[in-house]
Structure 1
């Protein structure tokens, strides 16, 4: 049965939602009481892969370059009607799950859909808009990261040596520019092939060039739902406030998914409330959009498992592991889970779920394992999400709180494997040199504070978390390092472990996934270049400015800098004022309810402050004229930096 024709208003891609239909559209339903309490589920603005997730077996990414601007806008105007919304994808996923349960866990064969999403790189937005999407690009912000792209930031991300951009297949400086990332996802390969042919024709007719194509999809057989090393993937996702239903008995966690915390939507969507950071201060048209990271990560499967065999043999010689320890035993410890996804914290001795269809278990705590005896500190799960197992300092008695600190580091991952499984008995496409790995896809509201922070400060940091032993880099996706491995049966002994690199970056992009309204405005050429003009940033107390964070009005940038001092810089990043604190590394800058702007130490005591105490209701103003001031409730100036220009 041929697909129904596309209507002239924004709708989903062609879908089938019953056991008898083959390409009927998702029916429009009246909001249920549950939906009214979860308004983001009803969004027809947010693209569907961000919060709901496409969750398809067959995926294909087209990396596209624009030709003429008018033709590119016309292409986007036609494409936007085929882009899936959160409401459409969430409704389909709910119905699919119900049908699957009714079939005792078997996928409903006729319940299928084709989804599309589109994101645009900084270069792509610049082409469509006819100028930069914003001109205020403070150092250290997501605006800077998005403008520069991952290739120019490769060293800070650990993309060096074999992962350096000169080896990439796309995204490197000097390679053809990528302007748009078009993602297609389908339940059936024939549907995906047909949609791909249509999209290639559409792009070609509009003067677009396909720079790179990345096919991907769920692995077959025993690797279904797993990545190429054999471990279940996509388990530890955050819940999203106003999208995922909270547990009535524990509102900070998602109903029916123990261990899954509900995180404010602003960690994934521009313009929404965040966990603890300052507002976005991005152009209003970017609201309901999300920053999109795409990385092609090649996996050396035989090399990984050969290393496991070598390491476990060496550890046995040093009496550091139980006599019955195997490569599986060690690999689970370096991953943090067994192959089935069962966590080591609950099942330290063996994988309890050999069935690959076992439900995921995300109820993991490290608070009682601060020294990494049960799950090594270099384990992939601990490195990418330390949960309650993180101490700010090795001497701290209490872990860093999740709410107000670590929740704001979460990302939504939509990764999918590419390439055929490794099978030494198969043909060339299954051999050791065949391309295979993971298409890492992530959505977040802040590239620097989320993806880059996790990659730079956790994954690639040899001393994270801070402990008296050598922790090492991420044992699975890291670029190799020396790590300490706990000796079995000893309360405090460790032995060194040499970890090599078996995951390489082969391409990377930063893009932005706009709302449906933003796609319409971009297609119509109605977004002016340069972003909004400079304006005052007015902040009420209490306010916290953490290391590296900046409040920018365009002409003034108030930043708490890495050396622990507070400075104002102009739009050229030249210092125009500084607190001049030299007494050691202060912990953060705060604006207090008594009217003071202060630098505080690790215990929260002021080590420097403005002379503005006793002015409740005062506000901190980072002015569009370049001045920074504390103003009283009546508008009078209590203190200023005198840096207007």
Structure 2
């Protein structure tokens, strides 16, 4: 899986860049959008490319004593499509029979129509969103650009904006993101280290020799079957789940813009601490840092409260990345509260069966709830003494990004049944919602009920699908399934073989009309043979093994290299509805929609 050239690079390997921009796109013209995608595809990063770079980067970092190797940089792109986007590109519903309570239906409806179930109500409701609202401009695609340097990101953005403009692809919204500066690097805006608990992936990450369920060199990081993130791979559970063949190698993509009120959240922590101290429900030496750590489940450095309940250990890198956490001896949340963000999003071994009281094993259903997060902050850090843009009213927050193979069983389950559920885990009185990212709720803390307001707001959301590289080719051809004929041929009463767009020749494909036989050879050249198999005409492109020839919707007939670079064409673009006719008189001709010849091999005989 590490060498996959089919899976896009951000899904499993992860771009892991300091500078990110997401472009939310709308297709004004389906034909031009397909051309845009065909041109974009060579710039899309694969798992093999990203994994190889990340390995080299990590090695260089170790060799430099922990500093980032400034000479080693990369620029990555990925692309995903909404249900409406796939429908626009292909002219068909990708999930025409989407059943209730399935990922297909969730994808088709999108997060705006499912907002109530996800807790996106009130100030979080779609009418307040910046993108993804079903009543606003539709989003058809999400293009992610990630770079090590600001200069590289700006150059790539300039290129992509130009490409979009040329092909009538409208940029509906642009979302920036970036690692916070200085000591805040690696943290979100509330000040806590982010991304510590990401899962490892079977077939991609090496297992620990002694604990094969853990990632090598990362105690406590469970290795999850790849099928929880990539469609078509082995999964952790046997929950009913069916996907069409075109979805294989892809992943469902959730993007949410979460605005954070930093001073409001910390002021609330201070107010609740005062209440708890007055009730003598916390130690007299407890600080806002102490209480905030219990809301999150980790200290600012990433050190888990379960391991260090009394104080942070910011100078210990091992503690900051510690995932070897057990809640089996803290089932009631005396050390790490049951409502803490850490336990609400990944309960680990801290759940028990109601009937037997036994610990719920992580292997199986709990592993099947994991998601692959790729979040990054946006906006400038809050600093009341700082310059413009650092104040309390400035836009700041987290671009939440996740990949999963099942929207309903993974992201939506986590959001609805864990994070936003007051009765998870089931206790009396109720545990309450996640006080870090959940809605307003009362939580149970040391036998006291305390209320937490909401200081994280949903400001936009999209469900998209990140296709495999092969499916990107299909989408660029306006199709999904391979059972659609690659070459659309109609035989006329006179014996001509008329070919219509979009038709794709691959090596050794033949259209035979008797006196004329059009072949794409192994060397990537198109050749017209006569009835004696003598060549009468050939395209003049250089040898290009693995090439394909496409009769496009604009009327051009183009030979592309395997990485989608054009090497030859008939130059007949600008003629939508044109057809390529392999004729019984020996000629091969391109006709306009009005049957006017505009190109020919001139091999009639």
For 2:338 and 2:92, how far apart are their aligned partners in 1? Answer: 46
Alignment match, 2:105:
144
Shift of 1:401: 1.3
1:512 aligns with 2:477: no
For 1:289 and 1:195, how far apart are their aligned partners in 2? Answer: 24
**Partners of 1:130 and 1:529 within 8 A in 2:** no
Alignment match, 1:426:
386
Shift of 1:249: 1.1
For 2:386 and 2:99, how far apart are their aligned partners in 1? Answer: 52
Shift of 1:527: 2.1
**Partners of 2:245 and 2:481 within 8 A in 1:** no
Deviates more, 1:250-259 or 1:296-305: 250-259
**Partners of 1:391 and 1:465 within 8 A in 2:** no
Q: 5+ unaligned residues in a row in structure 1: which ranges?
A: 1-39, 487-493, 532-645
1:467 aligns with 2:406: no
Kindly provide the CA deviation profile for residues 179-220 of structure 1, in whole angstroms up to 9, marking residues without a partner as x: 000000000000000000000000110110000000000000
Shift of 1:426: 1.1
**Partners of 2:258 and 2:398 within 8 A in 1:** yes
Shift of 1:277: 2.9
**Partners of 2:253 and 2:465 within 8 A in 1:** yes
For 2:317 and 2:32, how far apart are their aligned partners in 1? Answer: 47
For 1:206 and 1:359, how far apart are their aligned partners in 2? Answer: 47
Written as runs of structure 1 = structure 2, the 5 A alignment for 1:395-544 is 396-486=356-446, 494-527=447-480
Alignment match, 1:382:
343
For 1:530 and 1:221, how far apart are their aligned partners in 2? Answer: 54
Written as runs of structure 1 = structure 2, the 5 A alignment for 1:474-623 is 474-486=434-446, 494-527=447-480
1:363 aligns with 2:324: yes
State which of 99, 111, 120 in structure 1 corresponds to 2:72. Answer: 111
How big is the alpha-carbon RMSD for the aligned residues of Structure 1 and Structure 2? 1.6
Tell me the secondary structure at the aligned position of residue 464 of structure 2: strand
Alignment match, 1:295:
256
For 1:120 and 1:526, how far apart are their aligned partners in 2? Answer: 14
For 1:367 and 1:468, how far apart are their aligned partners in 2? Answer: 19
**Partners of 1:131 and 1:530 within 8 A in 2:** no
Alignment match, 1:96:
57
Tell me the secondary structure at the aligned position of residue 42 of structure 1: coil
**Partners of 2:192 and 2:300 within 8 A in 1:** yes
Tell me the secondary structure at the aligned position of residue 258 of structure 1: strand
Alignment match, 2:229:
268
**Partners of 1:231 and 1:341 within 8 A in 2:** yes
Q: 5+ unaligned residues in a row in structure 2: which ranges?
A: 485-605
Kindly provide the CA deviation profile for residues 305-362 of structure 1, in whole angstroms up to 9, marking residues without a partner as x: 1011111111100001111100000000010000000001110000011578975111
Query: In structure 2, do the counterparts of structure 1 residues 400 and 530 end up closer, same or farther at CA, with 3 Å as the change threshold?
Result: farther
Alignment match, 2:600:
none
For 2:162 and 2:266, how far apart are their aligned partners in 1? Answer: 43
1:319 aligns with 2:280: yes
Alignment match, 2:137:
176
For 2:412 and 2:209, how far apart are their aligned partners in 1? Answer: 34
Tell me the secondary structure at the aligned position of residue 49 of structure 1: coil
Alignment match, 1:637:
none
Written as runs of structure 1 = structure 2, the 5 A alignment for 1:122-141 is 122-141=83-102
Kindly provide the CA deviation profile for residues 591-616 of structure 1, in whole angstroms up to 9, marking residues without a partner as x: xxxxxxxxxxxxxxxxxxxxxxxxxx
Query: In structure 2, do the counterparts of structure 1 residues 271 and 418 end up closer, same or farther at CA, with 3 Å as the change threshold?
Result: same
For 1:300 and 1:145, how far apart are their aligned partners in 2? Answer: 29
For 2:319 and 2:150, how far apart are their aligned partners in 1? Answer: 25
Tell me the secondary structure at the aligned position of residue 325 of structure 2: coil
**Partners of 1:270 and 1:280 within 8 A in 2:** no
1:337 aligns with 2:307: no
**Partners of 1:133 and 1:530 within 8 A in 2:** no
Written as runs of structure 1 = structure 2, the 5 A alignment for 1:148-297 is 148-278=109-239, 280-297=241-258
For 2:366 and 2:385, how far apart are their aligned partners in 1? Answer: 45
Kindly provide the CA deviation profile for residues 504-529 of structure 1, in whole angstroms up to 9, marking residues without a partner as x: 00000000000001001110123259
1:372 aligns with 2:325: no
Query: In structure 2, do the counterparts of structure 1 residues 278 and 241 end up closer, same or farther at CA, with 3 Å as the change threshold?
Result: same
For 2:320 and 2:299, how far apart are their aligned partners in 1? Answer: 13
For 2:247 and 2:270, how far apart are their aligned partners in 1? Answer: 49
Query: In structure 2, do the counterparts of structure 1 residues 359 and 100 end up closer, same or farther at CA, with 3 Å as the change threshold?
Result: farther
Query: In structure 2, do the counterparts of structure 1 residues 314 and 278 end up closer, same or farther at CA, with 3 Å as the change threshold?
Result: closer
Tell me the secondary structure at the aligned position of residue 246 of structure 1: coil
Shift of 1:475: 1.2
Shift of 1:480: 1.3
**Partners of 1:225 and 1:356 within 8 A in 2:** no
Shift of 1:427: 2.1
For 1:366 and 1:292, how far apart are their aligned partners in 2? Answer: 30
State which of 304, 308, 323 in structure 1 corresponds to 2:269. Answer: 308
Shift of 1:396: 3.4
Kindly provide the CA deviation profile for residues 545-572 of structure 1, in whole angstroms up to 9, marking residues without a partner as x: xxxxxxxxxxxxxxxxxxxxxxxxxxxx
Kindly provide the CA deviation profile for residues 446-498 of structure 1, in whole angstroms up to 9, marking residues without a partner as x: 00000000000000100100122320001100011011102xxxxxxx11111
Aligned length: 485
Kindly provide the CA deviation profile for residues 419-455 of structure 1, in whole angstroms up to 9, marking residues without a partner as x: 0000000123000000000000000000000000000
For 2:242 and 2:317, how far apart are their aligned partners in 1? Answer: 44
Tell me the secondary structure at the aligned position of residue 11 of structure 2: helix
**Partners of 1:62 and 1:213 within 8 A in 2:** yes
Tell me the secondary structure at the aligned position of residue 149 of structure 1: helix
TM-score under structure 1 normalisation? 0.74
